[in-house]
Amino acid sequence: MRNLVSGAALAALAVGWTGAALSQETVTVWFTKGFYKGEDDALLSVVDKFQKATGVKVDLSLYATEDCVTKSVGAVQAGTPPDVGFCTTYDFRTTGQWAFEGKLEDVTDVIEPMKGEFQPQALATTFLMNGKTGKKAYYAFPVEQQMMHITYWKDMLEEFGFKESDIPKTWNGYWDFWCDKVQSAARAKGKRIYAVGHPLGVAASDTFYSFLTFANAYDAKIVDENGKIVLDEPKNRAAMIEAVKSYANIMQRGCTPPSSVNWLDPDNNVAFHNRTTIATHNATISIAGKHMDDMNNPALTQEQRDAAKKNYYDNIRTAEFPKKPDGSNMTNLAAVKTAVVFADGKNKKRGKEFMAFLMKDENLRPFVEGSAGRWVSTTLAGIEAPFWSDGKDPHRAVVYKQYKDGTVPFQFVYNYKFTAVNAENVWAKAVNRVLVDKVSPEQATDEMIARIKQIAG
């Protein structure tokens, strides 16, 4: 561990580091409980080191994903938040709004000394507008992030007569390959399976993340960096119409299970694991991760563990999206998971100190890597660590390449009201208007734009 003074001197001074504190002094911290034991173990190690270094007691509470954010929202509304909060859905649901409403502490004094350690795009997502001051500042810490991936069964692809080298790189050719060639070959062998697990449910966050990836592929710009809606500009409207057409077309050609219009977030994973779909898109590598869990699970038989290992290393592939329709490489839509210090926290000074401590590389890297690849590093050193960059893990190697291809933020980074737009899932509703109500993509897009203006304009 680096010396506290030399390794974080500027950050420490910025937040008023005073060394040992009164024995009864406490900082209250709420986190999402890790998906893997390694995440929680790494966090507990950070807590232990922080307590020994400062004498401050960390009152740590771990909550399930949904409980974490709902409990946080209730506490903020009641004026009784913890000092520090990190829930993995804050970015999608609350961070931008809280910053705008003045509910978060400005942490620029902590971020600035370590600014050069972060990936610029990841850090940019925490530079948010405060509606009370009318200015932007750093109101969150970029702890970890996620990107959208393609996952497919290599052995199923081969079963139906194709090699991985047969998969096209072009946008239309890619989807035509899965839907026309692979699915047709499967049906010719009497297999009632679908080529693509394609989330379409209005209640699924998978749907808006997947759809916005398609919109990104078509360069449909939705807001500018000042939060102004620009989707109604002719170029952007035309691009969004093409994205709606493309996304709806997977269902229109019978390439995804009919039930996918009602899918919730776990359902594309379930269909994939059940081998009723050959490929799907997912916002983490958790689908492959399930098999990694199984191959290390002592409760399973040796035969089951061996099968899981073969699936992880040989049968399941994580892949990038194809090139954009214009032939350029895809830049990946990244969701940065944010930790915050609450303005109404009782000991926000120590809250800043705790986050400054956690964000140091020797503390943050084990926490992020403890997720076994489910979450991706947001620091320059972290992403270049062997865990991501050595190429030994077939799934993490693809994530590393995706990062190298570039990332772009979600719209709510620039206009917090897009958290409400996503919650309503105007994107999925537009696609379902085409699929279910048989309206034109042009009409569905215009309805979408009108609704976005109502919510976020």
98 and 35 in a common domain:
yes
- CB count in 10 Å sphere of residue 324: 16
Q: For 397-433, give the DSSP string.
A: HHHHHHHHH-EEE-GGGT-TTHHHHHHHTHHHHHHHH
Within-domain flag for 198: yes
Q: Containing H/E element for 154?
A: helix 154-159
Sign of the torsion formed by the C-alpha atoms of 137, 140, 143 and 149: negative
Q: What is the pLDDT of residue 456?
A: 96
Domain housing 269: 149-283+425-456
Q: Which residues contact 214 (CB under 8 A, 6 or more apart)?
A: 243, 246, 247
382 and 272 in a common domain:
no
- Max Cα distance, the chain (Å): 74
**pTM metric for this prediction:** 0.92
Give the pairing of strands 135-138 and 127-130: antiparallel
Within-domain flag for 159: yes
42 pLDDT more than 70? yes
Q: Considering the chain, what is the average pLDDT of its residues?
A: 94
Query: What does the pLDDT average to over 171-188?
Result: 98
125 and 24 in a common domain:
yes
429 pLDDT more than 90? yes
Query: What does the pLDDT average to over 160-164?
Result: 98
Quick: pLDDT tens for 126-142: 999 999 999 999 999 99
Kindly report the CATH number assigned to the domain that includes residue 228: 3.40.190.10
Q: CA separation (Å) from 97 to 333, 415, 453?
A: 20, 9, 17
Q: What is the residue whose two structure tokens read 């394609």?
A: 198
Q: How would residue 408 be classed by pLDDT, with cut points 50, 70 and 90?
A: very high
- Residue 105 is given by DSSP the state -
Quick: pLDDT tens for 330-380: 999 999 999 999 999 999 999 999 999 999 999 999 999 999 999 999 999
Q: How would residue 391 be classed by pLDDT, with cut points 50, 70 and 90?
A: very high
Over its C-alpha atoms, the chain yields an Rg (Å, rounded) of 23
Distance CA(241)–CA(448), nearest Å, equals 10
Q: How would residue 8 be classed by pLDDT, with cut points 50, 70 and 90?
A: very low
SS3 45: helix
358 and 276 in a common domain:
no
Within-domain flag for 324: no
Give the pairing of strands 135-138 and 316-319: unpaired
Q: How would residue 21 be classed by pLDDT, with cut points 50, 70 and 90?
A: very low
* Of the candidates 396, 318, 383, 374, the residue with the CA atom closest to the CA atom of residue 36: 374
Q: What is the pLDDT of residue 3?
A: 38
94 pLDDT more than 70? yes
58 and 37 in a common domain:
yes
Judge contact between 340 and 84, C-beta under 8 A: yes
Distance CA(317)–CA(295), nearest Å, equals 16
**The two three-digit tokens of residue 367, written as one number:** 């926490």
Q: How many domains does the chain have?
A: 2
Quick: pLDDT tens for 281-337: 999 999 999 999 999 999 999 999 999 999 999 999 999 999 999 999 999 999 999
Within-domain flag for 298: no
Quick: pLDDT tens for 191-245: 999 999 999 999 999 999 999 999 999 999 999 999 999 999 999 999 999 999 9
389 pLDDT more than 60? yes
% of the chain exceeding 90 in pLDDT = 95
Q: What is the pLDDT of residue 33?
A: 97
Query: What does the pLDDT average to over 54-63?
Result: 97
Q: What is the pLDDT of residue 6?
A: 36
Q: How would residue 24 be classed by pLDDT, with cut points 50, 70 and 90?
A: low
Q: E strands of 93-189, at which residues?
A: 127-130, 135-138, 141-146, 149-153
Distance CA(402)–CA(148), nearest Å, equals 9
First to last CA, the chain: 48
Within-domain flag for 308: no
- Residue 276 is given by DSSP the state S
Q: What is the pLDDT of residue 31?
A: 98
448 and 376 in a common domain:
no
52 and 40 in a common domain:
yes
